[in-house]
Amino acid sequence: MSRASPLSGIRVLDFSRVVSGPYCTMMLGDFGADIIKIEEPAGGDELRALGPPFVGEESVFFLSVNRNKRSVVLDLKEKTAIDFVRDLVRSIDVLVENFRPGVMDRLGLSYESLRRINPRLIYCSVSAFNAGSRHGERPGYDLLISGVSGLQSMTGEPGRAPLRPGVNLVDLSAGNNAAIGILLAVIERQHSGRGQKVEVSLMDSAYAVLGQLAAIQLNTGTVPQRRPPEDLHPQISPYGTFITADDRYLNVCVPNNKFWVSFCEVLQRRDWIDDARFATNVDRIAHRTELIPLICARFREDKRDRWIKKLLARGIAAGPVNTLDEAIQDGYLEEVGMIVRTEHPTCGQIITPGIPIRLSRTPGKVRMPPPTLGQHTKSIFKPANPVRKPARSPRPRRKGESP
């Protein structure tokens, strides 16, 4: 491991599974932390089995959030396994878990018990709701929290069913917050010499993502509503998605009067500049039901790529609504290293999104592909260890063979 890595020397014991916790620990691993992923014998992290699609025997979902980790299989129902974990904690900097509240306590691996073994331990718990709250015992997945938090109510078109965001936004936001919380605790420990508990919930993370929409409701009592695609922003107009003459979509943002003038000139509608209804952003919001249909009609008169070229030439924020393959074909993601190819021991070459954080002196690095189940058990727990091999189907007995 390179000493140039910002988190080189930081050891992380990772009990998390599915998305939020593994995404958090993957980010730490990208910057040099040694991630020891603890998995149960019967199949390991359940994300391994969530598919299709699969590459070889591994779920693409699992491969997407588990690089730069070592996998250890432990049966946490065995006392010897718990003893090994408690002994290992003496040399661990960070522990991450996202079991339902109470599970780690019942295993004898609560924060209170482990900090007596290692006062420098940073212990991060990711849960659906805050563990001490009225909903603390509730289970929660990305979809459920999208709904409970209000995030889903703001996604989609008016008059239609609310939509869950197209990615695991709640899980990924919670994973980001967990990683930030851990790094803050690492920095604080440099001064105090003591660890602490970091708590992150999917619910809190989802509500925080609502940002200005939550603030509107809190400060005015007005509940923001879903907006049509061509008129997405409650504080900016025009700001939305428009369809062009070739039935393709583009996004346009006109944040102030300077760009409004340029926008009108590109659309060859200088008369809008002098129209009192559209003189300022406040006016354009007040008269958006009159303005937006005019803009929609104008965009329908030419093709998408020609509009984008003209708008960009005047400094106006505009771009296509790409499909995922079109985003790759653009070439930008390859250029900046956001497409990463690694060799997996059983899957062959796998391709995943790269590291989005760039440090000039100590950049992140994809050092290892996602591990196979239990791949590093013997190298970490030796000479003896409380391990059961991953469950396999028994070989059928041949005719006449003794049991």
pLDDT of residue 365: 94
Record the pTM: 0.89
Q: Same domain for 257 and 114?
A: no
Helices and strands per DSSP (H, E), number in the chain: 16, 13
171 is catalytic: yes
Domain range holding 350? 11-209+341-380
CB-based contact 376:23 (threshold 8 Å): no
Q: Same domain for 317 and 370?
A: no
Which residue in 45, 171, 204, 231 is the catalytic one? 171
3-state secondary structure of 187: helix
pLDDT of residue 3: 57
Is residue 257, in this structure, part of any structural domain at all? yes
pLDDT tens for residues 165-195? 999 999 999 999 999 999 999 999 999 999 9
Rounded to a whole number of angstroms, the distance between the first and last alpha carbons of the chain is 48
Residue after which a domain boundary falls, among 295, 328, 361: 328
Q: Same domain for 186 and 134?
A: yes
Q: Same domain for 115 and 53?
A: yes
Q: Is the pLDDT of residue 2 over 60?
A: no
pLDDT band at 139 (very low <50, low <70, confident <90, very high): confident
CB-based contact 183:143 (threshold 8 Å): no
What number is the average pLDDT over the span 281-289? 96
DSSP 369: P
Is residue 303, in this structure, part of any structural domain at all? yes
Q: How many CB atoms lie within 10 A of CB 331?
A: 9
pLDDT tens for residues 324-350? 999 999 999 999 999 999 999 999 999
Q: Same domain for 94 and 16?
A: yes
pLDDT tens for residues 349-370? 999 999 999 998 999 999 999 9
Q: Same domain for 29 and 83?
A: yes
CA distance 359 to 136: 37
Is residue 297, in this structure, part of any structural domain at all? yes
Q: Same domain for 139 and 67?
A: yes
CA distance 117 to 89: 7
pLDDT of residue 306: 98
Name the token pair of 243.
Answer: 């369809």
Q: Same domain for 177 and 293?
A: no
Q: Same domain for 201 and 322?
A: no
Domain count, the chain: 2
CATH number at residue 125: 3.40.50.10540
Is residue 22, in this structure, part of any structural domain at all? yes
Q: Same domain for 70 and 143?
A: yes
pLDDT band at 4 (very low <50, low <70, confident <90, very high): confident
CATH number at residue 278: 3.30.1540.10
Is residue 389, in this structure, part of any structural domain at all? no
Mean pLDDT of the chain: 92
* Residue in 288, 239, 120, 237 with CA at minimum distance from that of residue 189: 120
Is residue 201, in this structure, part of any structural domain at all? yes
Is residue 335, in this structure, part of any structural domain at all? no
pLDDT of residue 136: 86
Is residue 5, in this structure, part of any structural domain at all? no
Q: Is the pLDDT of residue 314 over 90?
A: yes
pLDDT of residue 138: 87
Distances (CA, A) of 204 to 56, 143, 221, 386: 37, 14, 20, 37
Q: Same domain for 64 and 155?
A: yes
Alpha-carbon torsion 54, 55, 59, 65, what sign? Answer: negative
Q: Same domain for 73 and 153?
A: yes
Q: Is the pLDDT of residue 260 over 60?
A: yes
> Tokens 């059928």 belong to which residue?
396
| DSSP secondary structure of 220-272 | H--------TTS--SS-SSEEEEE-TTS-EEEEE--SHHHHHHHHHHTT-GGG
